[in-house]
Amino acid sequence: MATPRAPPQAAVPGGGAGAAAGGVTMRMFHGDVFLGEAEVFPMKQGAEGSLPFPSNEIRISHLSPTSERCPPLAILQTIAPFSVRCKLQAKLMPPHPSLHRLYLTCFNEYKSAVVVVGDEELHLVAMPSKVEKVPCFWCCSVRSGIYAASVGMLNLRCLAIVFDLDETLIVANTMKSFEDRIEMLSRRMDIEDDPVRIAGMSAEIKRYIEDRELLKEFIDTDTVTDNGRIVGTQKEEVLPISGGQERVLRPVIRLPERNAILTRINPEVRDTSVFVKLRPAWEDLRSYLTAKGRKRFEVYVCTMAERDYALEMWRLLDPEANLISSHNLAERVVCVKSGSKKCLQNVFKDKGCHPKMAMVIDDRLQVWDEKDQLRVHVVPAYTPYYAPQAEMANAVPVLCVARNVACNVRGGFFREFDENLLRKVFELMYENELLDLPYAPDVGDYLVCEDTNFAPNNKDVAPIPEGMSGAEVGKRLNGLAYPRDQKQIPSSTRLSDDDGVALRGIPGGTNIQSNGGSLATTPSLFVTVLQEIGRLCESRVEFRSTVSSGKNMQFSVEVLFSNEKIGIGIGKTRDEAQVLAAEKALQNLESNYLSFMAPVAGVLNKDVNKPPGSGNGFLEDITLSEDISMEEPSGRGQILGRGIGLNKDFAKLQAAEEALKTLKTTTDPQIKKHLRPMQQLNFPLYPTQSHTLVGLLFFTQLKLIFLEDAIAS
């Protein structure tokens, strides 16, 4: 629940420090009802500071939906950062009663007054002021319709997730595509000399033939024989989408043991039958999205497949329409012309979501518009015929990793929204400046963008494409062959810990590619710690990546802490480069701290150069109790905090917490004298000797205390 704002109190009349000098008087209306006159102040001077209201009058068309927990300014800063165009306040005192009522309604009910100008909405946000009883507003501009959609999502703590279909969630084949793939592999075998490769191709052909025979039996008899058991079709009703299509019953056979489904796109045409393999762990991901009836994500589909095929594939994935309701299906399943770029702006053409509040699950990065690529979580392509054991060989299946990533993205986004954006918005007054607005979170801040496709090494042969995509679907279902470019070998993904760890806040995984071509996916402690330092210090941590244009493609990642470069890493993948950059940044922070503290090294009674295992460099490891102390000028040690617990970490946390309280409340001039030099530190310390989060939290919190002390003094 959002913290209620203090009732408006008031400033010197005028636009405040953030507004350009010289206001313009305008008449205000709600529909045709006159509200009084307002003094309008542009936020910028010159041509950039032109006022957005046509005919020099402010005509409100409607009020925005009520927001249960988010003030309108927080919503607007999230979907249209720093879009404040002007400020306005009542010209006369006391104000016109209608204007005063409008102001109180907007302020108390978390609404904004909306002026529609073309395809733009101007939202008048009621602001508290230092001048008592002065109705005053900030005017923010946003694309029409996006505010109303965002209100509900932000109140429910909900984001959007966009799924690709082919080779991301499913692989589908017709009789024709099966035959083409078998023929292609047979030709490769004829010219192959390596017996290992021949054996692999032979096994792949066998898998294709087995599923082709099941599909043929389905086409001929509406049954299949699975392990000696005859399975008949079930008639599944296709729910009508908006537009009122006729009731359709499709013949479907579900084989859960095989993770496979046979269906017929056009029930009247047997040649439109399709054999579909569902990616393992889809049920886990789907359950997370709908757990306990709580909507965590609004779900969309963006594919290059033909529309009827795409709608049926999604129906098989979401048969009860829990993820996308039938009346939203037409707008939520977006089909892009083959060869075109996918774009979140086009996915949300109904203005259902802002792109910065959306993440994408896809097996290819480059099919997305460049500006959206930072919001794409790339999964290895699903290859059930080429590498049938790849999915289950991982400690955590690919879609479980995707679930964990989605969980962490959502958690990080709304942690930033609640702890930073909301808190600071509640402190803003009418007289504040534009630059006083806080940073707004973006889904891209919590994803490491990497295309997991990589070129094969000398011993590997690229797999043939396993399913249909794009224009091929329509051609296949009409009995026509349609050649497609081959994809590169997809990499496998592995998590070193169970998925429960990721759900508690560790990122879904960081892919670090070795020379051998295999990928091990492990949560990055360095990245997590660096981001935690930034969060606690209210400073932004950014990772900027580039790709070299040389023959050996490498990724370079720079770490910026409050816009200052503190580390750089180079690797064969973005993730590897990011981890190395984060590790280097932490080492630089530590080096900066230690070099600065050298003249006052006697302040702390623990030798920071002790090897790992003897504490974290500052906190003493004493069985089940922990002391944090400081040496006084007399040579005596003074205990700042003491902790006792069932284990060392618990004792450390207790000791650190008590020490923080002591430092915050101490009046001892000797302690303050020794601690005050730390006020000048540019960065907090993270003691990399032991990589303990206790050290991070303790010294980051110390820095915040010293900053508060400096401000107070």
Residue 573 has pLDDT above 80, yes or no: no
**Range with the lowest mean pLDDT among 91-105, 107-121, 636-650?**
636-650
Report yes or no: 211 and 174 within 8 Å, Cβ to Cβ: no
**Range with the lowest mean pLDDT among 40-54, 279-293, 442-456, 597-611?**
597-611
Other Cβ atoms within 10 Å of 370 Cβ, number: 10
In the chain, the domains with their CATH numbers are 24-156 (2.40.290), 526-593 (3.30.160.20)
Residue 514: its pLDDT value, please? 28
Name the residue with higher pLDDT: 383 or 551: 383
Closest by CA to 315, choosing from 379, 385, 384, 240, is 240
User: How many Å apart are CA 50 and CA 56, to the nearest integer?
Assistant: 11
Q: Could you please report the per-residue DSSP string of 103-163?
A: HHHHHHHT--EEEEETTEEEEEEE---SSTT--EEEEEEEETTHHHHHHHHHHTT-EEEEE
Residue range 283-316, pLDDT digits in tens: 999 999 987 777 899 999 999 999 999 999 999 9
User: How many Å apart are CA 101 and CA 634, to the nearest integer?
Assistant: 67
Report yes or no: 167 and 487 within 8 Å, Cβ to Cβ: yes
Residue 653 has pLDDT above 70, yes or no: no
Report yes or no: 590 and 688 within 8 Å, Cβ to Cβ: yes
Pairing label, strands 62-63, 24-30: unpaired
Of the pLDDT bands very low, low, confident and very high (cuts 50, 70, 90), residue 660 is low
Residue range 162-214, pLDDT digits in tens: 999 999 999 999 999 999 999 999 999 999 999 999 999 999 999 999 999 99
Of the pLDDT bands very low, low, confident and very high (cuts 50, 70, 90), residue 58 is very high
Name the residue with higher pLDDT: 119 or 212: 212
How much of the chain exceeds pLDDT 90, in percent? 48
Report yes or no: 638 and 671 within 8 Å, Cβ to Cβ: yes
State whether residue 564 is helix, strand or coil.
strand
Residue range 679-699, pLDDT digits in tens: 333 333 333 333 333 344 444
Residue 652: its pLDDT value, please? 63
Residue range 468-519, pLDDT digits in tens: 655 556 555 654 433 333 333 233 322 222 333 233 233 343 332 322 222 2
User: How many Å apart are CA 503 and CA 155, to the nearest integer?
Assistant: 22
Q: What are phi and psi of 651, to 5 degrees?
A: -65, -40
User: How many Å apart are CA 198 and CA 204, to the nearest integer?
Assistant: 10
Rounded to two decimals, the pTM is: 0.65
Helix (H), strand (E) counts: the chain: 19, 27
C-alpha triplet 273, 276, 281: angle, nearest 5°: 160
The alpha-helical segments, DSSP class H, found in 504-615 are: 525-536, 574-597
Q: Across residues 533-551, what is the average pLDDT?
A: 67
User: How many Å apart are CA 265 and CA 659, to the nearest integer?
Assistant: 68
Mean pLDDT value across the chain: 76
Residue 524 has pLDDT above 70, yes or no: no
